[in-house]
Amino acid sequence: MNALELHRTVAAEVLPEAALHVGASAVTSTDRGSLERIDPTTGQLLATFPIAGEREVDQAVRAGRTAFPAWRRMPADQRRRILWDIARAIEAHEDELNKIVALETGFPVSGGGMAMAIDYFEYYAGWVDKFDGELINTYPGNALDYVKYEPYGVVAAIVPFNGPVLNAAMKLAPAFAAGNCVILKSPELSPFGVMRLAEICREAGLPDGVLSVLSGDKETTRAIVRHPDVAKVAFTGGGIVARSIMALAAESLTPVVLELGGKSANIVFEDADLGAAARIAATVSTIAVSGQGCLFPTRLMVQESVYEEVIERVAAISTGPTIGDPLDPDVHMGPVISEAAADRILSMVDAARKHVRVVTGGDRLENNLGGNCFVRPTVLADVDNASDIAQNEVFGPVLAIMPFKDEAHALEMANAIDLGLAAYVHTNDLRRAHRVADGLDVGWIGVNGFPDLVASAPFGGIKNSGFGREGGRAGIEEYVYQKNIHIPF
């Protein structure tokens, strides 16, 4: 069986019905027509899916408004159980969901992010009965003054193509735990994983109307953000779209939370474990999900004394992965999300060629799978930190390496960018690790490793990487407002 036959067979087995999930209804066609999703591995049509218009958006919001009173007042133990049951249902369907994500994104079937999605639902299930208010000391008179945390009502969640089920879980779990209903806008390039997630949530006992999943285009997003009964918008994606969402939300002063792009510095000092540092730099930036991760350490800054050694180590690892069909469990790296993305990535590399040393990659990978979306892991050395390839997110398997002199120089370089999502430090000097972490202008830092994105820790950026947090107590606080109640006595 060739790749095309295999993908068609697997798609027939695991792809859900292409439908909008509006309250209790599955809507398979709309006045706005449909979109096509091309399989990035084979280059052939994977499936079509409907485009939600203003009518479907309004129906979904109305369903959420209808479900909200009972959902917010549901006893905590019952809502806690539903979130826990969703986690168990994702676990039961993990293999199926991984295959769906592999088909629509090209991400290897072994790394669909389902374990993290499960973690988010389990973690926030535990918050449902523990998210207490506050008792306030009063003056000048005596009173009972207390604060309640109130859910917003119907909130919108707009998620990106990379890790669609995980990104959805990062927003759905805390929103549900706080008592909100959610309109989830699926990614245009990977809509099917979240369609199946909607079915799984309903099968696990989530009441009708608490979750609606709408597929579509930028007009669908506009209709969701502008709807007067959408009380808050949570968005993960790029800065250009984020600015348009903020402008639309400003029309009705709808609050937003934004998790945007990154160009994370990865600082390697001469006293670090160079093997471990090089392995993380190469594996995470040029191999894992074909470099399509916002928090990946894509600016590798190496102290001058070990600069060439680290380049050699990184190059050796970057040329070693098994690249191929993401449905193959032995494959480490599949295609990027689309042919347009591959074109954009390679055009950025081509523009940088005359100013950098191309150590490895920088081209399309020939393959017998049919698609034109495979980009070879690319390592660029001697990169100017002020250049386009260093300052702007490539969102592909491209690593930019540059030398630094000392600690002060490394911090100056790391912070000389308008993004501030994540950063990484490699050193065996504990004091230096604390000093450098303290001096980095970012929201999330890993020392001597690439930390797991766990539900218990807050994640998010500063500067043009957005604002607000996902994970931890901060993550559930994004989905409530504070109501103060003062009763004198």
- Give residue-wise pLDDT tens across range 211-240: 999 999 999 999 999 999 999 999 999 999
Q: Is residue 212 part of a domain?
A: yes
| pLDDT, position 452 | 86
Q: Is residue 176 part of a domain?
A: yes
Q: How many alpha carbons lie under 13 Å from residue 481 in its C-beta half-sphere?
A: 9
- What's the mean pLDDT in 463-482? 98
CA distance linking residue 339 with residue 375, whole number of Å: 10
| pLDDT, position 315 | 97
- What's the mean pLDDT in 477-487? 98
Find, among 179, 232, 229, the residue nearest to 207 by Cα: 179
CA distance linking residue 346 with residue 361, whole number of Å: 10
Q: Report the range of poorest mean pLDDT among 110-124, 241-255, 311-325.
A: 110-124
Q: Does the pLDDT of residue 112 top 70, yes or no?
A: no
Regarding whether 289 and 208 lie in a shared domain, the answer is no
Q: Does the pLDDT of residue 21 top 80, yes or no?
A: yes
Q: Is residue 182 part of a domain?
A: yes
Residue with tokens 């079509």: 48
The string of DSSP codes covering 83-97 is HHHHHHHHHHTHHHH
**Residue 56 is among the residues annotated as catalytic for this protein:** no
Regarding whether 240 and 332 lie in a shared domain, the answer is no
Residue 110 confidence class, pLDDT cut points 50, 70, 90: confident
Q: Out of 56, 188, 259, 393, pick the active-site residue.
A: 259
Q: Is residue 213 part of a domain?
A: yes
Strand, coil or helix: what is 168? helix
Regarding whether 442 and 385 lie in a shared domain, the answer is yes
| pLDDT, position 213 | 98
| pLDDT, position 1 | 82
Peptide bond into 397 cis (omega under 30): no
Regarding whether 173 and 289 lie in a shared domain, the answer is no
Q: Is residue 419 part of a domain?
A: yes
Regarding whether 280 and 342 lie in a shared domain, the answer is yes
- What's the mean pLDDT in 257-286? 97
**Strands of the 422-426 sheet, one edge to the other:** 357-360, 378-381, 398-404, 299-303, 265-268, 422-426, 444-447
Q: How many alpha carbons lie under 13 Å from residue 195 in its C-beta half-sphere?
A: 27
Residue 366 confidence class, pLDDT cut points 50, 70, 90: confident
What the block records as the tokens of 213 is 């999943």
| pLDDT, position 111 | 74
**Residue 294 is among the residues annotated as catalytic for this protein:** yes
The string of DSSP codes covering 85-129 is HHHHHHHHTHHHHHHHHHHHH---GGGSSHHHHHHHHHHHHTTTT
| CATH number for the domain harbouring residue 153 | 3.40.605.10
CA distance linking residue 6 with residue 368, whole number of Å: 13
CA distance linking residue 388 with residue 397, whole number of Å: 16
| pLDDT, position 355 | 95
Cα dihedral sign, 386-259-436-275: negative
CA distance linking residue 428 with residue 433, whole number of Å: 8
Q: Is residue 459 part of a domain?
A: no
Residue 177 confidence class, pLDDT cut points 50, 70, 90: very high
Regarding whether 67 and 195 lie in a shared domain, the answer is yes
| pLDDT, position 410 | 98
C-alpha distance from residue 54 to each of 66, 220, 245, 471 (Å) = 18, 7, 16, 31
CA distance linking residue 398 with residue 363, whole number of Å: 11
Regarding whether 47 and 137 lie in a shared domain, the answer is yes
Pairing of strands 181-185, 154-158: parallel
Residue with tokens 């600082």: 267
Residue 15 confidence class, pLDDT cut points 50, 70, 90: very high
Q: Out of 181, 201, 294, 373, pick the active-site residue.
A: 294
Regarding whether 26 and 160 lie in a shared domain, the answer is yes
Q: Is residue 460 part of a domain?
A: no
Residue with tokens 């917003």: 152
Regarding whether 152 and 85 lie in a shared domain, the answer is yes
| CATH number for the domain harbouring residue 341 | 3.40.309.10
- What's the mean pLDDT in 469-486? 98
Which residues constitute the domain of residue 209?
3-260+466-485
Considering the chain, what is the average pLDDT of its residues?
97
Element (H, E) at 44: none
Regarding whether 145 and 86 lie in a shared domain, the answer is yes
Regarding whether 350 and 248 lie in a shared domain, the answer is no
Backbone angles phi, psi at 345, to 5 degrees: -60, -50
Q: Does the pLDDT of residue 256 top 90, yes or no?
A: yes
| pLDDT, position 113 | 82
Amino acid making up residue 273: D
Q: Is residue 461 part of a domain?
A: no
Number of structural domains found in the chain: 2
Find, among 167, 195, 223, 273, the residue nearest to 53 by Cα: 223
Regarding whether 379 and 285 lie in a shared domain, the answer is yes
Q: For residue 488, with 0-12 CB atoms within 10 Å meaning exposed, 13-18 middle and 19 or more buried, which class applies?
A: exposed
Whether 227 contacts 214, CB under 8 Å: no
The string of DSSP codes covering 439-481 is H--SSEEEESS-----TTS-B--EETTEES-BSHHHHHHTTEE
